[in-house]
Amino acid sequence: MSLTIISLSTSLTKQSNHVKSIAEQLGFSHCGIAKAEFLEEEAPRLEEWLSRNYQGEMHYMENHFDMRLDPRKLVPGAKSVISLTYNYYPSEEDILKQKQTNDDTPKISKYAWGEDYHQVVKEKLKDFLIQLQETFGAIDGRVFVDSAPVMERAWAVKSGIGWIGKHSLLINKTQGSFFFLAEIICDLKLEYDNPFTTDHCGTCTACIDACPTDAIVENKVIDGSKCISYLTIELKDKIPEDFKNSFQNWMFGCDICQDVCPWNRFSKSHHEPKFKPNEKLLTLNRKEWKEITEELFNELFKHAAVKRTKFEGLKRNILFLEEGESL
């Protein structure tokens, strides 16, 4: 009996090692595996967060409550959640170009400098799943990258990739936090990694202190309705006047809490050609952004995440920055 158990354990180990080797070949920075089960600890946290209306106008967060907490409702018979990170930290050269523009130039979050990550990463995930099926046979699975009711940070912690920082983002000791999270939920049984149980933020409050809109209301809890990323992307209505002069020139997204995080000193440049920004994106000055045409918008963001806010949305954000400065 013991020999059978050892043999089965060895087989699961080999299968998991193969899964991780595919992840590495496809360019993912980290890969961890957790058992597909109900996220019992997350249920009351999510319920409390929603009850405080921290989702703002993101009403989709209120949908599929059970599905968010149990991956087996997304993939019936699921046994494993494969969590992955994909680096998007720009090159030092591109960061320098962006810094060399005037200090008052409107800024775009680093994750949106290149092509839309939803498409770039999802293509890799589809390839990943095909390789799993070629290796292990007819397994059932689905791929996700910030596009379905999946609590990706919770799964990344359960799979041992990192911990949740005070800014509520996942942090990895060797990579920081400038990466996308993605998942494959499948009915393949694998060896599971130990969850990450240590919080390495300690007494540091750099992200809390730096947030200009006080969106980090308590440790690991974000009032989404106050977050600059929410206000410049998700919010479709007029931006509340209360936030005038508090955006620090962010017109799409915000990197403040990540830029000040000490763990991001370990961030290394990505190697994804599709994340390379359009040269104009980093060199336009404030006047040029203010006068941006729909033609230029389409040229800059044809395949980028910024197109989500549409031309009118970006113009609204730029005008809001201008109005703040004129007060």
Active site residues: 146
Terminal CA-CA length for the chain: 77
Length of the chain: 327
Q: Are 97 and 276 in contact (CB under 8 A)?
A: no
Q: Are 304 and 119 in contact (CB under 8 A)?
A: no
Who contacts 135 (Cβ-Cβ below 8 Å, separation ≥6)? 18
Q: Are 82 and 28 in contact (CB under 8 A)?
A: no
Burial 290-315 (b: 16+ CB within 10 A, else e): eebeeeebeebbeebbbbebebebbb
Strands (E), the chain: 30-35, 80-87, 107-108, 141-144, 163-164, 170-171, 179-186, 216-218, 221-222, 250-252
- Round the CA-based radius of gyration of the chain to a whole number and report it: 21
